[in-house]
Structures are given as structure tokens and as C-alpha cells.
A and B are shown apart, each in its own frame.
Chain A
Amino acid sequence: MRCPTLLALLAGVMLYLVMGALIFQTMEGPEERKAYGNLLNVTQIFLQSHDCVNTQNLSNLIKRVAEAVETGLDVKSNSTNFTSRWDLASGFFFCGTIITTIGFGNLSPKTGLGRLFCVCYALVGIPMFGFLLAGVGDHMGTMLRKAVGNMETLFLKRQVSPTYVRVMSAVLSILIGCLIFLAVPTLVFCKLEEWSLLEALYFVVITLTTVGFGDFVPGANGKNGDLFKPLVWFWIVFGLAYFASILTMIGNWLRVLSKKTRAEMEELRAHATDWTQNIQNMSKDFQIPNPLDLNDPFLLQRRRWKRSVRRRVRRGALGHRDRLGPIGQNGHLPNRWLAHTCSMTRLEVRPLDRGEGLGPGLRLLADLHQRSEGRSLGRTVARSLSMPAAKSAMELDYDSDPLRMTSERSGSGSVYEYGSLSESPDSDSRSVVSCYDSNASGVCQPGLERPLARFDPGGSLCTEQEERQGGSMQVFLGIDSRFPVDLQQLPKPIPMFPLPLPMPATVQPPSSSSSPPSPDCKMLDFFGENLAFIDESSDTLSERNQPVEGDVPASHKPSGRSARRQAPPRSPVRERRTDNDMQPPSNPPTPPPI
């Protein structure tokens, strides 16, 4: 808050106080004088009618009695049997007034020990009551908001302006609260305590604002039964909570009205994006036509963009979308890939031309070298994995990635399987990945002979992926038999492993015993890259039937930093082929290095 505003507020309060003091003095002074005069008269009459009493004795008596009354003693009653004012109900009420900070004062501890205990009691009780009030106020505020929301909808239906509606609903809610917590108790107290209406209202206001003078205290005449005081206390709690929630609500409205609206709109948009994304995922998994297919070019564009985003997430470029599959769910994987991408792009590799007959490892390196940051290595891994399968010359329509340096075609049979594996939420890309754990020396050798069963992790690189191995892998081959899988080709990359790559170990493997960290992570990343490549191919598969929007040259992929609301909806189109027939990917993955 700016200094002048604060000073102005302070000055305002001071002025308010002075004004109040003046008015009170004007109002109360004469009254006080009158009462004093009356009392003097009474005293004089008493003294005159009773000659044996002298002023001194009387003063002493009065002083002692007044002190006693101040302690809370009731000297007016003449009864000889002693009814304490500290019975349980009164004590409960007193503690209630202490904790709510009302503090009537008609009853207060007189002993030193009692006062000390009062202090400690209040120290604990007031914060506790604060919590209680917060909780009750929260619930009441929610109910209030719902009621207000209902009212607002009612009003909005009649084409009233929103601000007006808001104000009206605020006023209405305040009125309802006043009715329940002010008007009704006033009438009740007026009736039960035999106060005047003004006195009852005065008491209600003074109590609910926690001022609590104590000149009027309910249950003072003791004829309303023992349940009266606890009931009063409950009323106090709910009334306090209600007014606290009202004030909070109004404060929130006044302060953050526009900001909240903006935030809510953002949330709404985010939810809509999530929802459409989920729909697309589902449609892909179950090969159902996209229910959002509207032939609307904008929507198609958007969908494609989202798909590419999803793909990027799978590859770990955007690490935050954890609902997009096991790769994304595991926060470690994308980060590792990302980190590794950074590391790998630092490699110095001579650029390779397309179609050179180089080992896949080198090809991979060249690929990475060209890649921008944020492009995960999953693609490389995916490519490496399906490279041997490519030799079987499948006809798949892979998207052209202009950034890819290699132009080998790879079959997509196995690739496709990987793709569907990675897409189904239950599928365990982690377990697939885990096959590449551990030693570089032919870790996949046993696994690849029986591609399903042997994919167990070796000396685990990333322990978090060790769950759900094996079992889900059984589904591997059975998903789609459209493309023959030549998994026997898979072992081929292994001899090409010995490609020493001076990769800095940027990722710490949790418990890799036998192999140095970096190769394992490399393998992991490469595998992930394969998977991503598979994703792309499967995407293009399903996109076969979509109208072509033209090949947008995929440029620099936006880095993972930017959120889902990235600008380019143009990028998804890059996965599309200009021709409708399926061709093997121009840049098949290379086998993972050692």
C-alpha cells in the first residue's frame, strides 16, 4: 500500500475516533449527570432516614459491596444458600467469551492463579478458535457462494449486467445473514431476557463484533435454563463465522474481481485443451474416428498441433504433462532425455549427408547434432530401435523430418508395435526401455531373442521403470498384426554398438553397477527416441485419412520450456505426407550406441 494512502487511512481512523468521542460525550454526559444526581438524592434520603448511619460507614459499605459486585458476586439476592456464579454452564460461557475474544467481563477470574490460567488458556484457545472459525467460515462461505451463484444465474438469465448482478447478490446474501443472525436473535433475546428491542439489538451487535461490553449478558437472571448459554454460544460462533465469511467474500470480490475472471478463463481453456487431447488419445488407442472430427480446418490444425505436442511430451521435450502416457508420467524420463539431449547436442560430430552408408550410431549422432534443444532423444532411440526392422522394408508412411539427416527407410512393423505400446496407458514403455538398461554389452541380446519375455532390466539404469515388465510386454506383438514384425532384425544393432561416444554423464543412474552411467542413459534415450519415432509413424498412420493441409516445413521445434499453449499450430502439419501412400520413414532410428 502506498504511504500516502496508509497515512490517509490512519488519519481517517483518528478522525473517526475523535468524532465518536465528541458524539458520545454529547449524548452521554447529560445522562450521566442525571444518574449521578439521582444517586446522590437516594444516598441523602437514606442517610437522613437512618440517623445512626454516618457517611463514613456507608461509604465503606458501599465500597466493599461494589468491589464484591465487581468480582461478579450477586449481592442483590438475599438467599442464604450460596449459588456460585462459577457453575459449569457459566464457566463454559466464560471460556467461550474468552476464546472468541468477546470478553463480557461480567465474570472474571479474581485469583492470581485464575488469571494466570486465563492467560495460558487464551493463548491456546484463541488460535484454535481462529482455526475453527476459518473452517466454519470456509464451509459457510462455500454454501454462500453456491447460493449466490444460483441467484446470479437466475439474474443473468434475465440479461442483467454482471456487475449489477454481483452487487445484488452480495446485498442479498448480507441481508439473509442479517436476518438469520441478527434479527432472529434480537427477537429471541428481547423475549427471553426481557430487554427492550433496542437493548437486544445493541447486545447482538456488540457481541457479534466481539466488542463485548458486558453490560448486557444473556442468562444473567438465570431463569432460562442451563441450555440457554451453550445455545447462545453456538449462535455466536456461527454468527461470527458468517460475518467473517461475508467480509472475506466482499474483500475478495473487490480486490481480485478481474484477475480471477482472467485466471478462470485460462483454466477453462486449459481444461478444454486437456479434454480434446484426451479424446484424441482415446481415439487413437481404439482406432475410432476422432469424435471431434468436424472438418473444421482450424480444429484440424489445432488437433494436429496438439498431437505434435503430445509427441514431444512423449519424447520428453515437455516434461510436465503427466497424463500423456507412461513416459510423460514418469517425471524422470523426460528430464533425463532433455538433459541428455543437451549433452548430446554438444557432441562434435561431423554432419552426415543423407543416405550415407554409415553406421547407425554415427547417423544418430549427426542427427542429434542437428537437433535443437528440446528435441528429445527419444526420437533417436526410436529410430535406432526400428532401424533393423527397417531392413525388412515395411511400407509405412513416416513423417518427414527435415531435420533428420539420415534418410534410411525403416520398417515400421516393430516400430508400430512399439508405438501402440507406448500409447496405451497401460503399456509399459518403461519396461521396454528397461530392456536397454545395464550393460552395453549386448543387454538386449537375450531380450531380443524373445522380445517379449526377456525384456528385463539388467543392472538397472533407471529403477523407476522396473515395474511392470514382462507382463505387459506380452501384449506387444498381438496389438496389430497388420505389419509383420521382423524382430529378428533387432539384434543387428547390437554389433554396431561399439561406438565410443564421449558423452558426458549428465544423468545419474540410480543403481547402475556394471556400466558407466552415460551409456546406459544413452541407451535409454535412444530407446525413447525410437519410441517417439514410432509415435510419429503411428500418428501418420492414423492421419492417413485426414485431409492434407500441405506440408509445413517443420522448423525449429519449440523447446520444452513453452507450455502447451505454444504458438505454432503449424508444426503438426509437418507430420503429414504430401502423398497419400505410406512410405517408410525417411529417417529411421539408429541403434543405440554403447
Chain B
Amino acid sequence: MSSGYKSWVLLTGFILFYITYLMLGALVFSTIERPVEDMLKTDIKALKEEFLNQSCVNATSLDTFLKRVLEANTYGISVLPNSSARSSWDLASSLFFANTLVTTVGYGHTTPLSDSGKAFSICYALVGVPFTMLVLTACVQRLMHLVTYGPISACRRRLGLDPRTATAMHFAVLLLLVVIGFFVVPAVVFSQIEDSWTFLDAFYFCFISLCTIGLGDFVPGEQPGQQYRAIYKISVMVYLFLGLMMMYLVLRAFHRMADLHGLTALFQLPHCDEDSDDREPIVKAGPEDQNENDLVASAKPLGPASKSSYNTIQR
């Protein structure tokens, strides 16, 4: 029973560490953001007073007015002159919204207003999220052969490295490629297309989107006067999907590497179950599993599912 006891201890340790991490983050954010918030608040106050001073509006009616406007604004409706033309629920935007819902990014720049919209969102999400995860995992499974197992075995054959070194090397290269291809390059592109985004803003947006956090403070294609909005939004959708796949791929490669290096056993986590999974996935596996046999021998014994985050179903 000692291993069960140990795993409970580990879990408690993890939880405590996690809480500490959160507190630390809260402290840092607080320290960084508070002064800026202070300043902004003072600015707005000044603006309001200036407006009130130079006009005949009294404070209460302005406040009521602002309240209405801001409520509408949170739903994406603006009364500013140059944004009156477009709707946020045309086909492209609705598609974009459905995509953010289903990939769990969830920007929140447009949210369903009506009750029926909310109810439908619930059902749509409950079905669509597992479905999307299934598709993503299936694609990643397939990609793993191409991107991970193939190169690793080729590496081992040609250079004669042991599995651990080969996996670590391959992971490093993969990580570098993904960062450059899916973070840096799109950030440059976004910072060019969007006027008010700097490179850092665009990079921040790429990161927040690809981790499916989706804060929503930056959303591409929301600028007024955006040309080719429909195509732009759809291409952003495709980028999000591909980027998510690459993130899962990197995660899987990392998990495999951690498995080989004994980290998952160290933390008593479920092992990488991919070897049996990849050969007996939801649908039949192909003949290309032969090239991973050399990796299989060095893999740890299989256990229950690996990182059981919500976004992983098949693991």
C-alpha cells in the first residue's frame, strides 16, 4: 500500500505547490497591473468630468447612458460611427464563434445574447468539444508517425543514438520548429495586418489562443474597416486548428520523452499510453506502426491514460 500512500502524498504535494504557484502569480500580476489600472481610472475620471463640465449633461444621465452603451459593448455592439455597418453574427463571424466554442478557446468578444442562443451553445459545446478533441487526437496520432517516430528511428539508425538522447534531441528540434512556425511567423503576420498590434501583442495573442486560454483582449479581424474580413477570419480559424494540433503533438512528444526519461514514473503519473493507443486507436491502425517497434521496446510499461486534461480524450 506504500505506493498508493506515496501517490497520495505526491498529489497533496502537487496541490500545495500549485496553490503556491497561483498565489505567486497573483502577487506578481497585482504588482504589475495595479499602477496601470490606477492611472487609467484617473484618466477616465478626468475625461468624464471634462465632458460634464463642458456640457449640460448631468452626471446621472451620463452614467445611465454609459451603462447602456457599455452593456451593449460587451456584447460586441458599438454605436461608434464607423463600426455600425457590420454585424458580428454574419456567417464568417458565426463560424469563427463556433470554432472558438468548439476548440474551447472562447474569446468572448461575441457571446450569444438570446436565451435560445445560450441553450444552443450548451448543447453545441457538449457535443462539439469531445468531437473536436477526437479529431485533433486522431490527426495527431497520424502525425506522430510522420513527425516523431519516423525521424527518431531514422536518427537512431543513422547516428546510433540510444532512445533517450534521440527523443530528447528530436523534441528540442520539434519545439524550436513549432515556436518559429506557429508563434513567431504568425505574430509577424498579425502585427502587419492588425494596425494597433505590436509584435509583442501579436505574439501574446498567438500564445493565448494556441493554449486555448483565449482571454479575448486581442481578437483578429475585429477592427473596423477590415478588408476581406470573411477570408481573414476563416484563415485565422485554420491557423488555430493547425496550431492546436501542433501543440498537442508537442505535448505528446514531451510526454513520451518524459516517460522515457522516467519522469512520469517519478511523479507516479499515468504513463504514456500511446504505444498501445496508436496501434489500437478508435479505428484500426495502419501498417506504418512497424517503424515504432524499436521505440516500443524502450518505452515504459503502459498504464492508464496519461495527462488527462480535458483536451485529451484518447490518451
With A6-B139, A125-B25 known to touch, is A28 a contact of B122 (CB < 8 Å)?
no
Given contacts A86-B33, A105-B214, contact A139 B11 (CB under 8 A): yes
| A-chain residues with CB within 8 Å of residue B124 when the two chains form the complex | 20, 23
Any A CB within 8 A of the CB of B191: no
What separation, in Å, do the CA atoms of A1 and B112 have in the docked complex?
Answer: 36
Beta-carbon contact of A105 and B36 below 8 Å:
no
In the complex formed, the residue of B with least CB distance to A113 is B32
How far, in whole Å, are A94 and B27 apart by their CA atoms in the complex? 11
Residues of B close to A191: CB separation below 8 A: none
Residue B128 contacts which of A20, A31, A116 (CB distance < 8 angstroms)?
A20
Q: Which of A64, A98, A205, A209 has the most CB of B within 10 A?
A: A209
Chain A hits for B269, CB < 8 A: 131, 134-135, 138
Q: Cβ of A455 < 8 Å from any Cβ of B?
A: no
List of B residues within 8 angstroms of A78 by Cβ: 59, 63
B-side contacts of A25, CB under 8 Å: 89-91, 94
Residues of A within 8 A of B59 (CB): 78
Q: Does A62 contact B (CB under 8 A)?
A: yes
Which residue in B14, B75, B104 is a CB contact (below 8 Å) of A135?
Answer: B14
Asked whether B61 lies within 8 Å of A23 as measured between CB atoms, the reply is: no
**Chain-B contact segment, one of A48-56, A285-293, A296-304, A368-376:** A48-56
Q: Is A581 an interface residue (CB 8 A)?
A: no
Contacts A20-B124, A57-B51; A36 near B77 (Cβ below 8 A): yes
Contact of B310 among A21, A42, A244 (CB under 8 A): A244
- B80 and A63 contacting across the interface, CB-CB below 8 Å: yes
B95 touches A18 (CB 8 A): yes
Q: Which A residues touch B129, using CB under 8 A?
A: 209, 211
Q: A1 and B98 in contact (CB under 8 A), knowing A36-B72, A59-B81, A87-B30? A: no
The listed residue (B33, B65, B102) touching A110 by CB distance below 8 A is B33
Tell which of A13, A23, A82, A208 has the most Cβ of chain B within 10 Å: A13
Tell me how many residue pairs across A and B have CB atoms closer than 8 Å: 428
Beyond A6-B139, A52-B55, is A213–B270 a contact (Cβ under 8 Å)?
A: no
Asked if B141 CB lies within 8 Å of chain A CBs, one says yes
For the complex, give the distance between the alpha carbons of A24 and B96 in Å.
11
Contacts of A84 in B (CB 8 A): 30, 34, 37-38
**Residue B232 CB within 8 A of the other chain:** no
Q: How far is A126 from B8 in the complex, measured between Cα atoms in Å?
A: 21
Q: Which of A71, A244, A252 meets B37, CB within 8 Å?
A: A71
Q: Does B180 contact A (CB under 8 A)?
A: no
> A211 touching B18 by the CB < 8 A rule?
no
A266 neighbours in B (Cβ, 8 Å): none
Contact with A along B286-312 (1 / 0, CB 8 A): 100000000000000000111111111
Q: Which residues of A contact B226 (CB under 8 A)?
A: none
Interface mask (A248-291 → B, CB under 8 Å = 1, otherwise 0): 10011011100100000000000000000000000000000000
A16-B128, A43-B69, A202-B121 known; A118 vs B315 contact (CB < 8 Å) = no
Contact assessment for A59 and B80 in the assembled complex, using a CB-CB cutoff below 8 Å: yes
Residues 130-156 of chain A, each 1 if its beta carbon lies under 8 Å from chain B, else 0: 111111111101000000000000000
A136 touches B11 (CB 8 A): yes
A311 to B99, alpha carbons, bound, how many Å? 66
Complex Cα distance, B90 from A196, in Å, reads: 28
The size bracket of the interface on A is 35 or more
Q: Considering the chains assembled together, what is the distance between the CA atoms of A553 and B43 in angstroms?
A: 102
Q: Tell me which residues from 158 to 215 in chain B have a Cβ below 8 Å from any Cβ of chain A.
A: 198, 200-201, 203-204, 207-208, 211-215
Q: Is A188 an interface residue (CB 8 A)?
A: no
B213:A211 contact, CB within 8 angstroms: no
A9 interface residue (CB < 8 Å to B):
yes
CB contacts under 8 Å to B, within A97-130, are 97-99, 101-105, 108-119, 121-122, 124-130
B117 touching A91, Cβ below 8 Å: no
Q: Tell yes or no: A479 within 8 A of B by CB.
A: no
B308→A109 contact, CB < 8 A: no
Q: Contacts A95-B29, A256-B280 given: A31-B117 contact, CB under 8 Å? A: yes
B26-56 CB contacts (< 8 Å) to partner A: 26-30, 32-34, 36-38, 40-41, 43-44, 47-48, 51, 54-56
Complex: chain B residue closest to A118, CB-CB: B204
Q: With contacts A75-B44, A210-B212 known, is A91 near B25, CB below 8 A?
A: yes
Residue B113 interfacial (CB < 8 Å): yes
B307 pairs with A198, CB closer than 8 A: no
Of the candidates A71, A92, A127, A199, which one forms a contact with B40 in the assembled complex, judged by CB atoms under 8 Å apart?
A71
Report whether A5 and B283 are in contact in the complex, using a CB–CB cutoff of 8 Å. yes
Q: Does B149 contact A (CB under 8 A)?
A: no
Check B11 against A86 for contact (C-beta < 8 Å): no
Task: Tell me whether A70 and B217 are in contact (CB under 8 A).
Answer: yes
Q: Which of B22, B74, B208 is in CB contact (< 8 Å) with A103?
A: B208
Is A393's beta carbon under 8 Å from chain B? no
Question: A22: CB under 8 A from chain B?
Answer: yes
5 pairs, A vs B, C-beta closer than 8 Å: A18-B95, A24-B97, A99-B22, A119-B208, A210-B104
Residues of B within 8 A of A (CB): 7-8, 10-11, 14-15, 17-18, 21-23, 25-30, 32-34, 36-38, 40-41, 43-44, 47-48, 51, 54-57, 59, 61, 63, 65-70, 72-81, 84, 87-91, 94-95, 97-102, 104-108, 111-122, 124-126, 128-132, 134-135, 138-139, 141-142, 198, 200-201, 203-204, 207-208, 211-217, 251, 254, 267-270, 276-277, 280-286, 304-315
